[in-house]
Amino acid sequence: MREAGDHRSVGVMLTNLGALAATCGDFHRARALHEESLEWARRLGDRNGAAVALGNLGGALYELGELDAAAARFEEGLALCRQLGLTGFEAIILYNLGRLDETRADPARAAALFAEGLLLFNRIGQRIAIPSCLERLGALAAADGGAQRGARLLAAALALREAIGAPRDQTDQAAYDLALAVIRTTLGDDAFAAAWAEGRAMPLDQAVAEALAGDRA
């Protein structure tokens, strides 16, 4: 494709190869591919491609533990997404910035970012991403003294996962299990069962509203 001059296809291929490398856990390779994709997009003046490359590069850097570099790439990509109206990818970057702030032990900012991402995912109907946001916000709520709210959100997330066939990413499983254990221990069996049943029965719009209502117990 390079020889044929199909420059945009090269950029897409680099993006796909980077995503594949990340899926395989080879984040050094993913970083190199996303850096090349970004360079390619900038050379072509492809701002959409640059926004996607920046978000993907930020993700690779995050996984490599280069948090400051990841944040810079995410913020640059987020600004481009907002300029270009790339709402879906804007929401993805917001979610990833939330993960980064969790790692930096800034739960208030993480919660705000997860909530903003959730709002956008719900607005555009990207339901496959909603359970992860609900789980992150539920875990943060429980850590801040809102165990009942946390239980409801985790239960609502599980119900949605089952309904749409969206399994949890294995990289998130340990954190999920820990949050669930803390909630169950905090509430006790009976209160936990009641909150869990309430969450599983929530319609999606109610679950999203619950997640966004940060001042609820």
pLDDT confidence tier of residue 6, bands split at 50, 70 and 90: low
Q: What average pLDDT does range 125-153 have in this prediction?
A: 96
Q: What average pLDDT does range 192-214 have in this prediction?
A: 95
- Taking the C-alpha atoms of residue 188 and residue 192, their distance in angstroms, rounded to an integer, is 6
Chain segment 168-181, per-residue pLDDT in tens: 988 889 999 999 99
Please choose, from the candidates 39, 69, 72, 68, the residue with its C-alpha nearest in 3D space to the C-alpha of residue 53: 39
Please choose, from the candidates 69, 51, 52, the residue with its C-alpha nearest in 3D space to the C-alpha of residue 61: 69
Chain segment 82-99, per-residue pLDDT in tens: 999 999 999 999 999 999
pLDDT confidence tier of residue 1, bands split at 50, 70 and 90: very low
Tokens 């294995």 map to which residue?
170
148 near 167, Cβ under 8 Å? Answer: no
Query: What is the domain partition of the chain in residue ranges?
Result: 1-85, 110-217
The pair phi, psi for residue 86, each rounded to 5°, is -90, 75
Please choose, from the candidates 183, 135, 143, the residue with its C-alpha nearest in 3D space to the C-alpha of residue 161: 135
The encoded tokens of residue 130 equal 């909603």
173 near 161, Cβ under 8 Å? Answer: no
The encoded tokens of residue 190 equal 């009976």
The class (CATH top level) of 1-85 is mainly alpha
The predicted pLDDT at position 118 comes to 98
115 near 140, Cβ under 8 Å? Answer: no
At 143, which amino acid appears?
A
Chain segment 34-79, per-residue pLDDT in tens: 999 999 999 999 999 999 999 999 999 999 999 999 999 999 999 9
Using alpha carbons only, give the angle 100, 102, 105 rounded to the nearest 5 degrees. Answer: 115
